[in-house]
Every structure is written in structure tokens, then in C-alpha cells.
Amino acid sequence: MAVSSMRYRVVSLAQITRSTNSIYAAAYTLVGAFLSGGAAAARAPASWGAAAVVGLVVAYGFVINDYVDVTVDSYSKPQRPIPAGRIVRGAALGLALALAGAALLLAAALGPALGLFALGTTLLAAIYSFALKGTVLWGNACMALLIAAIPLYGGLAGGGVTPLVGVVAGLMWLFDMSHEILKTTADWAGDGRAGLRTVATALGVRGALRVFQGAGLLFIGAALLPWLAGLAGAAYLLALLPCAVIPTVVVIVMLARRPDDATITLALQIMRYMWISNLLPILLMKLR
């Protein structure tokens, strides 16, 4: 019985912190360090410390968002730990504060620049959850900015933010911006019942899908620029096509032909897998 109870708690904690996303974020932090200072920088203790900070901040962001979104989630995501009654709302707030505190303490130990950067992203995550999530595009842009900050943080830990790190951050902003817009089409019913104004509740699902398709095409164009500008070589292009360009085109075409709930769900799954596949062309940017 005790083992079963412990497993139940661990699963609930993993769900509310989105542990897989935190691992992805930590990996992209190390990628930023690699792009900044090479393999030696990615192996350095400071870079791994920065990756831990980012993982903690991302976990904090998800928990504080679930704490704020309990009413919205009760409509559209009742299986989440707080509306399902598996985690008490007050306990979630305590967990969020503990995660933020641990992240800021570790970041401060890494130096003033990394400490202030972590403080800024922690505050921005709170602003998103408490003020910007229920807005048209502003919340999406804010979340995309938090994602774009991940390789910048890694680059800072790895020796400095280089132009290549800046390019990757820009591409991640564009990709996540399109991803966040698409997610509003899956959540529009619950968001509408809760009174949130999002791209989908303001423009309708079809209107939001058109905005997503435009953002997706912009991402494709921007992703080709590093190769066209000579910042990345042929290896980058050869990996970019199957890992990023073709999947994005497939998603855009699928949604244009059949903009229903099942297709939106499939499109979101493809874009989630792209967070893994996109690592390859990004890493190959160092090969020119």
C-alpha cells in the first residue's frame, strides 16, 4: 500500500511539473552552451548547473500555471492533478515557490549574470500565468520568449551569447509561437467557457489555424536563412529538411485539408516530436 501511494504521488508530481518538458529544456540549455563554446563548454559544470536551473524554472512555470488555471482546466483538462483532486491547490503553490527558490539559489551560485537572467525568466513566467495567458497573441509571444531564452541562458553559461546562439533563439521563438497558436485551437472550448481571450476564441478555430499556418511558413523561411547566409553548412540543410521543414509543411497541409479536432491533435503530436528532431539540425550548425 505504501509503495502504491508513493508511486501515485510521484506520478502526480511528474504530471504537474511536466518532467519530460523540463528534461527537454535542460537539453536545449546544453545545446546553447555547445553552440557558444563547443563540446568543452557543454561538458563544463557551469553549463550543467545552468541546465538544472532551466529545468527547475520550467517545472515552476508549469506548476504556477496549473495553480492559476484550475478553473480553466476543470473545463478542458479535468484529468490534471489539481482539478482531479490528486494535488491540493495550496500544495501546488508551495511546490511552485520551492522550485523557483531552488532555481534562483542555484542560479545565484553560478554568478550575477546567470542569477539575474533566471530571476527575469521566473518573473516573466509568473506574469504569463497571472496576466498574459488569456490574451490574443501576447501570451503566446511571452511563452515563446521564455522558450527562446533557454539557449541564450546556455550560451551565457558556456562563455557568451554568440550570433549562432542568437539565431537558434530566434528560430525557437518562431517555432514555439506557431506551436502556442495551434494549441489555442485545441483548448478553445474550455478557454471560451472560462472567459479567456485567445487567438482561437477571438478568431475562431479556422481563423486561428490561418494565423498558425502563416507563422509556420514564416518559421520555414527563417529556418532556411542560416544556410542561405552561410552561418550553417550543407549538413544543417540536409538535416533541416526532414527534421523541421517537411513536418511543418505536412502539418500545414493537413490542417488546410481537414481542420477538425482529430487533425489538430495529430498536428500537435507531430510538433511535440519536432522538439526532439530539431535538435539535430541545430547541433549541425557548428559544422560548416
Is residue 232 within 8 A of residue 253, CB to CB? The reply is: no
Is residue 288 within 8 A of residue 232, CB to CB? The reply is: yes
Per-residue pLDDT, 78: 87
Domain ranges of the chain: 8-159, 162-288
Cell numbers standing for residue 149: 531564452
Q: What is the mean pLDDT of residues 146-155?
A: 98
Residue 40 has pLDDT above 50, yes or no: yes
pLDDT tens-digit map of 64-108:
999 998 888 888 888 889 998 899 999 999 999 999 999 999 999
Q: Which CATH number is associated with domain 162-288? A: 1.20.120
Per-residue pLDDT, 195: 85
Per-residue pLDDT, 18: 92
8-159 classified as CATH 1.10.510.10? no
- Comparing C-alpha atoms, which of 43, 51, 42, 31 is closest to residue 284? 31
**Buried/exposed code over 135-171 (b: 16+ C-beta within 10 A; e: otherwise):** bbbebbbbbbbbbbbbbbbbbbbbbebeebbebbbbb
Per-residue pLDDT, 6: 67
pLDDT tens-digit map of 168-226:
999 999 999 999 999 999 999 888 888 889 999 999 999 999 999 999 999 999 999 99
Which amino acid, residue 202?
A: A
Per-residue pLDDT, 194: 82
pLDDT tens-digit map of 255-265:
999 999 999 99
Residue 2 has pLDDT above 60, yes or no: no
Supply the mean pLDDT for the chain. Answer: 93
